[in-house]
């Protein structure tokens, strides 16, 4: 199993004809993601041709384009979408996908105004749509499907779930796990914006229920209180081993480090507070990203030994 996506997930690419949309559609197709269509107003009825290399052979895939998400879903029965629309139009793209009945929306777009995201999260909460992002790398279920921009070449299937606020650190930890021949069940980059969709707790809950996932890596960063809330949830609800890493441990107060949500204000949101919260929840905290893989290896070995 995996969480959120698998080989049966049918994906629409919103903004498929843009530079980023076209490039990453090709990458997703090569990985095996079931891309069933794309949207670009004014180009409905056309098809985009993708020359890909998969399983050692060249293929040509034609992806139909639709003017609207409603048309795309009606024609393809898609249940997921990934958004590469520029920030100024991304909020409306999320709402259009939700209104069309899409169950999972992955928004890669960055620079979406906070007020727009407040409007979006209120709306999608009404119909139960799951949103990952914005300003995120998306997610991957190794060997099954990827929706977003996480490099498939660094992933292998296995028992470790990963949830992260940081895109770059997601890749680094995945690579470290793979180097140790520790595969991943699902890797989810939730994004670092202050207003976003699914968070740590929702992903932890899904990993806890997933029979394939035996341990979890959580990558947090300074700013906000999401990590502290996650630590409390782990302490009370999670039975599987969890290892954490908190980025920004040397960040000075008042400085934003990378993400819009990664800012320490008023003495809250510091790395020290987050690390303390995890330690109080009996979660080991790695000193650097690659150590997270080492700690997970020990957790997995300990569980195997005690069986």
Cβ proximity of 63 and 48 under 8 Å: yes
* Tokens representing residue 177 in the block: 């796990």
User: For this structure, is 259 an active site residue?
Assistant: yes
Residue with tokens 């890493």: 245
Alpha carbons 83 and 96: distance in angstroms, whole number: 11
CA pseudo-torsion sign 280, 281, 283, 286: negative
Lookup result for tokens 């595969």: 183
Which residues lie closer than 8 Å to 190 by C-beta, 6 or more apart? 132, 133, 136, 163, 164, 165, 196, 197, 198, 199, 200, 203
> The tokens of 168 are what?
């770059």
> Catalytic pick from 175, 259, 282, 288?
259
The CA-atom distances, in angstroms, between 105 and each of 50, 62, 303 are: 23, 23, 35
Report whether 84 contacts 74 (CB < 8 A). no
DSSP characters over 198-242: S-HHHHHHHHHH-TT--EEEEEEESSSSHHHHHHHHHHHH--S-E
Residues with catalytic roles: 259
């Amino acid at each position: 199993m995996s969480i959120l996506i698998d080989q049966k997930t049918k994906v629409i690419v919103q903004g498929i004809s843009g530079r980023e949309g076209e490039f990453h559609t090709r990458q997703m197709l090569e990985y095996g993601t079931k891309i069933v269509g794309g949207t670009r107003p004014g180009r409905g009825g056309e098809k985009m041709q993708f020359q890909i290399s998969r399983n050692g052979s060249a293929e040509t895939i034609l992806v139909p384009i639709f003017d609207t998400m409603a048309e795309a879903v009606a024609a393809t029965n898609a249940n997921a979408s990934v958004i590469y629309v520029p920030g100024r139009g991304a909020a409306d793209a999320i709402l259009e996908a939700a209104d069309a009945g899409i169950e999972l929306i992955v928004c890669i777009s960055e620079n979406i105004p906070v007020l727009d995201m407040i409007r979006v999260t209120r709306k999608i909460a009404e119909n139960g749509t799951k949103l990952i992002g914005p300003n995120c790398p998306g997610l991957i279920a190794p060997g099954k499907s990827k929706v977003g921009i996480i490099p498939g070449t660094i992933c292998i299937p296995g028992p470790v779930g990963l949830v992260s606020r940081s895109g770059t650190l997601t890749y680094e930890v995945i690579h470290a796990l793979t180097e140790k021949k520790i595969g991943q069940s699902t890797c989810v980059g939730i994004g670092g914006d202050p207003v976003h969709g699914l968070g740590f707790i929702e992903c932890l809950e899904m990993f806890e229920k997933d029979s394939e996932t035996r341990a979890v890596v959580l990558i947090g960063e300074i700013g906000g209180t999401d990590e502290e809330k996650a630590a409390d949830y782990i302490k009370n609800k999670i039975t599987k081993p969890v290892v954490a890493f908190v980025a920004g441990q040397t960040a000075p107060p008042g400085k934003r480090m990378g993400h819009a949500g990664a800012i320490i204000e008023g003495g809250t949101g510091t790395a020290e507070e987050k690390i303390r919260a995890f330690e109080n929840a009996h979660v080991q905290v790695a000193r650097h990203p690659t150590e997270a893989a080492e700690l997970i290896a020990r957790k997995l070995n300990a569980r195997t030994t005690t069986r």
